[in-house]
Chain A
């Protein structure tokens, strides 16, 4: 059974269709990179996985649970899926360690000591332990994003979603975030990443999905995708982002 499965998912904003009949899946332990031009629906697709965006047709099954089902316990389902956002979205009124503790205590019901221990272990892992008592506003973008990854991991997720995690970063900070992600991928975490970092895709992705105008145009293994993309649109896209 795949960890995340999309079956004929379609979504409309009013009369405008943002997702067109999308079908794909992410197996356990698999790293899938989703790329495509802006406005192609990649962020929308990934946000449907934990129901941050509703969809009107088709179904998404995550870890055996139907996301669109009204009876599904959404907070519980979401707590098992870590998510990292383009703009970090750390809580600015809490310290770094409080950011990691919050959902552990309020959602998983861990005690303060247990949560703090877990948080400190993860902060150490992403190289941010020295910044534990600071507020997010005192950190650089790259540091904030590493904290955000640790915050997602603190919930012991079965999969991690990344929504353009490096797009808002200055170039010199991209690598510190990618390094953490590569490490995570090599440890066998199930990951679905919307990103334009083709170096990252080459290094750790198992499959690459190429989207354009709401459609999944290409869904191929990494070797196939970077070898000879079948669709013209994917070829054009690749030549644009790889030639500089």
Chain B
């Protein structure tokens, strides 16, 4: 067997484009997931029973099915639903990249919800009482007092979840979106250099994720001191 690693340097611009898409998807999904996850967490913790049930049901549903299936179902089902709703002749295509962004936000929201829920519950009840006693309303109490503390307490876990998300985005290959892995796979197929390309991709993922995890660990130690 002889390996030709020069193929990698030739393919770098294409791989870089794929990598940029991976990053973009990670950042958007993490941001959107955190936003909607926080709303879901507030709904799960609210005193309004229907809101609790809907949010809880959504989170449990999302956490009980594999991500690949969510992507698949969304990719194939949503065009059909849109067709039924709009009455179009042919199913309108959502497109691989848009599908990826929406499904990842939906999926991550469930996980970020549980993290933020734990974060909110970690804040002593007295903090809510003292905010209310000063005359702050529910939304001000959450926005100004509880969520900033919950977010800070949960920052290491949120970042760890984002690192997992960064790896999970590679699953978009099932709908042929060209992320980092997708780009590498296409070149590997074209040039029959499977070992070289997949090895390269693995090494890049490993270095990035390992470094980031280590950084999170350092951060965790600093936060622990402040409290």
Contact = CB atoms under 8 A, between A and B. Distances in A.
B130 A93 contact: no
Range for the number of chain B residues in contact with chain A: 20 to 34
Nearest to B129: A52
Nearest to B149: A93
Contacts of B134: 78-79, 102-103, 107, 151-152, 155
Range for the number of chain A residues in contact with chain B: 20 to 34
Interface string A57-90: 0000000000000000001101111110101011
Nearest to A135: B226
Interface in A142-164: 148, 151-152, 155
Contact of B137 (A75, A85, A155): A75
A182 to B, nearest CB: 22
Interface of B: 124, 126-127, 129-137, 140, 144-145, 148-149, 152, 226-227
B129 A106 contact: no
A148 B131 CA distance: 12
Q: Which 9 A/B pairs are nearest by Cβ-Cβ distance?
A: A79-B135, A89-B130, A103-B134, A107-B135, A83-B133, A89-B126, A75-B135, A78-B135, A75-B137
A92 interface: yes
A55 to B, nearest CB: 16
Contacts of B148: 93
B133 A78 contact: yes
Contact of B132 (A52, A87, A155): A52
A111 interface: no
Contacts of B135: 75-76, 78-80, 103, 107-108, 155
Contacts of A75: 132, 135-137
Contacts of B136: 75, 102-103, 106-107
Contacts of B144: 102, 106
A137 interface: yes
Contacts of A82: 133
Contacts of B137: 75
A151 B133 CA distance: 11
A81 B124 contact: no
Contacts of A52: 129, 132-133
A78 B129 CA distance: 11
A226 interface: no
A200 interface: no
B131 to A, nearest CB: 8
B127 A137 contact: no
A91 B150 CA distance: 12
B226 A85 contact: no
Contacts of A83: 129-130, 133
A50 interface: yes
Contacts of B129: 47, 52, 83, 85, 89
B133 A87 contact: no
Nearest to B127: A89
A54 B148 CA distance: 27
Given A102-B144, A106-B144, A137-B226, A92 B149 contact: yes
7 contacts: A78-B134, A83-B130, A90-B130, A102-B144, A103-B134, A106-B140, A107-B140
Contact of A50 (B127, B133, B140, B145): B133
Contact of B130 (A85, A108, A137): A85
B225 to A, nearest CB: 10
A102 to B, nearest CB: 7
Contacts of B152: 93
